[in-house]
Chain A
Amino acid sequence: MILRRLAALLFVPLMVAFGSGVYLYLGTLKSKVVKEHAQLPTVTKPKFVLPGTMFVVQDGRIFKLNAGSFTEIGPAGDWSQPALTPDHTRLLAVARAGASSDLYLLDLGGQIVKRLTKNDSKILDANHWAYYPRVSPDGATLFFSFDSPKLVKAAPGVDLSVWSMPLNGTQSQARRWTDPYWYTGGDVSPIPVVGGGLLYVRHSIDPSTAVHAQIYYQTRPFGTGKALTSLADDCSEPALSPDGTQLAMVCSRGKQTAALEVAPFNGGVLGPAKVLLDSGLYASPAWSPDGKALAYLAPAGAAGHFQLWYLALPLPAASATASTSAAGASPASTPRPTTTPAPLAPVQVTQGVDLTGTSAPAWY
């Protein structure tokens, strides 16, 4: 009798342990989606060593990727959209602070050299957004998207226009380049080109009330912009190659997936595009320093976190001048001709991080 009671007493902890084990085991069966949290880039090792130096952003922090390792740069804050000056000695970046965002000039170690804009206000709707900083090829002029002026009508209009100001000047010297299509979010992603022209992305609406993105080219402030891509193509996120002859872009064609494309560009005309990758969530392409490869951001794995990818490019795209008629044939309404070469093999560079899709890598 005593032995039985003793056995029963010993059995109770065994049952508790087994039940707890089942409980804990079920917890291990959770899908990766629920369990996987992004790691800081600095605790990860890239799977592929990129040439040169690159700046990327994760969760408001700027990271420098060089020789296969990440280091964090910059002061604390909500930083995004790093961009290099043409001489590669300075970095521009956006710092968001609640209701506003400002542009800063940093050194390559992340120390603030100069605050370029001041957009915060105690009055809520007197705050402003500044995004997408880019410096002209001569290094003298800063271009950016800025939500001024604001429309005060039945519905308050907050749309981005492209503005420019002297890099060594003040915000009071800024002047507006574009007049956005109101209530679409406006004009973004300015790229000043050699000769003084400007590439940017304009959002507008078609007769069926769908909002589209198009890449525009404009030669002077408030000049007439020329659409380089069609409404139907929905192209955005332009990136100009280091020699200025090719334009990489992301084209979604009204879908929730996109194609990564490259087209020749001759300073005002865009040639036929090559679809490099299709039907993915590609974001923020950036050219390698030698112009022979692209980096971009796209999700990988079940968690859907954005990773850095590298894509070596095939032979150079055709000349833009040879296809002027195709590019110039009513781009506002006609999809551009595209070609799809043999499938390319992108290489996943990072693993386990969650890079910010709207911050294109800055690479030199």
Chain B
Amino acid sequence: MRLVALTVFCLLLSGVAGAAAYFFPVVVAGVGQTGQTVIIPPSVTLGAKTTPAPAASPGAPFTVLLLGSDDDSKFASDHVLTQSMILVRVDPQSRHVAMLSIPRDLWLPLSSGGSGKIDWAYSNGGPSAAMATVERNFHVHIDEYAWIGLKGLIKLIDQLGGIDVLVTNPVLDDFYPDDIGGGYAFGAKRVAVLPGAQHLDGSQALQYVRSRHNDINGDFGRSARQQEVLLAIKAKASTLNAADLPDIVTALKGEFKTSMGLDRVRSLLGVASGFDLANVQQVVLYAPTYTYYPGYYINGNSVVLPHWNQILPVVKASFP
């Protein structure tokens, strides 16, 4: 009897060890890349009301600030600009998702002091500064953030086996940044993404969401494409299961970090499988409705300025 019990115990132990080895990359990523501590700094210049940060209960709606950056050699590590800022509110119970793309050239007061383009916020003060800047200007509470670098996006999509996107019009660019391969950081190359439904790998998807020089809507058009790809990633991620996580987190090593804990990441995967595209509300702060080009440079920077009286009602309705 003792021998049987000992045998079962030893087999259980070895089984757990095998499972632990399999999920070891997830544990490492869980420690190193998720659950990042965020301390929203006190406002230096902004008088806007900062919303309290209640702990979101399981199943309650929550808001995530998605940040996408250059992470190439043009920048010092951890001082990168955010080329993409998308505020996402997920309501797991009603299965409703709202997405708001914030133009990177939006000129507004920064949480770290003074005014600047919103893509500087992360560069100056990391995710906490980016979150604080968005919270105080848009009067919205943010629960979590998730940051991904360019290479991370490529790896994520490749790990998903590519994504399906319906490209609405040709995306052509003669000055697309050629900064991924480790060569000259300020190099350029030509890209052409043809219109129509197609299966894109990571590099092709990055070209689709990053190109902006030949888009009549400039950065706004790029923001709309980013939302399309985000939804395509969501659609693909909905078919994943826990056994896929080690490969994904290994691929994303150093290219992804988030304040979300593993439990919330896991619940997000579960939630993603049940969403219907019809329940996704997409907002891009297009000019001239929500923003406008002032017709002059501010401190040498090409910027867009906000129509807060148009923006805030939309934000209040979509991110209550």
Residues of A at the B interface (CB closer than 8 Å) are: 11, 14-16, 18-23, 26-27, 29-34, 36-37, 98-101, 124-125, 127, 129, 131, 147, 150, 155-160, 181-186, 188, 201, 203, 205, 208-209, 211-213, 234, 236-237, 250, 252, 255-258, 281-284, 297-299, 302-306, 354, 356-358
Contacts and interface: CB of A to CB of B under 8 A. Distances in A.
Contacts of A283: 196-198
B163 interface: yes
Interface string B171-190: 11111000000000000111
Contacts of B215: 183
B196 A211 contact: no
B214 A33 contact: no
Interface string B194-219: 11111100000000000001111110
Contacts of A29: 241-243
A322 B196 CA distance: 31
14 contacts: A18-B11, A26-B23, A30-B247, A34-B240, A36-B161, A124-B188, A129-B190, A129-B192, A209-B220, A213-B169, A257-B166, A281-B164, A284-B196, A299-B199
A32 B10 contact: no
A156 B164 contact: no
Interface stretch (B14-22, B56-64, B101-109): B14-22
Contact of B197 (A19, A182, A258): A258
A188 B171 CA distance: 12
B239 interface: yes
B174 A211 contact: no
Given A127-B190, A236-B196, A33 B244 contact: yes
B15 A18 contact: yes
Closest 7 interchain pairs by CB? A185-B170, A22-B18, A357-B198, A19-B18, A183-B216, A29-B243, A15-B14
Contact of A101 (B192, B217, B286): B192
A123 B126 CA distance: 39
Nearest to B167: A358
Contacts of A26: 18-19, 22-23, 243
A158 B199 CA distance: 24
A363 B216 CA distance: 36
B231 interface: yes
Given A158-B190, A257-B166, A281-B166, 10 more contacts: A19-B17, A26-B243, A31-B240, A34-B247, A37-B161, A124-B190, A125-B190, A155-B214, A159-B172, A304-B161
B228 interface: yes
A205 B198 contact: no
Given A31-B244, A36-B161, A183 B214 contact: yes
Given A124-B189, A158-B172, A188-B195, A23 B236 contact: no
A237 B161 CA distance: 26
The B interface is mostly helix, strand or loop, or mixed, namely mixed
B195 A306 contact: no
Interface string B148-170: 00000000000111111110111
A27 B247 CA distance: 10
Contacts of A125: 174-175, 190
A213 B195 contact: yes
B277 interface: yes
Nearest to A205: B216
Interface in B241-284: 241-244, 247-248, 277
Nearest to A147: B172
B116 interface: no
A323 to B, nearest CB: 27
A271 to B, nearest CB: 24
Interface string B16-52: 0111011100000000000000000000000000000
Nearest to A237: B196
B215 to A, nearest CB: 6
Given A34-B240, A124-B189, A27 B14 contact: no
B169 A23 contact: no
Nearest to A128: B190
B160 A33 contact: yes
A155 B13 CA distance: 63
B18 A258 contact: no
A304 B240 contact: no
A184 B216 contact: yes
Nearest to A211: B169
Contacts of B197: 250, 258, 281-283, 297-299, 306, 357
B125 interface: no
Interface centre among A131, A201, A208, A358 (most CB of B within 10 A): A358
Contacts of B162: 303-305
Nearest to B12: A18
Contacts of B161: 33-34, 36-37, 303-304
Given A21-B18, A211-B221, A185 B243 contact: no
Contact of A185 (B10, B195, B248): B195
B168 A211 contact: yes
Contacts of B171: 185
Interface centre among B168, B188, B217 (most CB of A within 10 A): B168
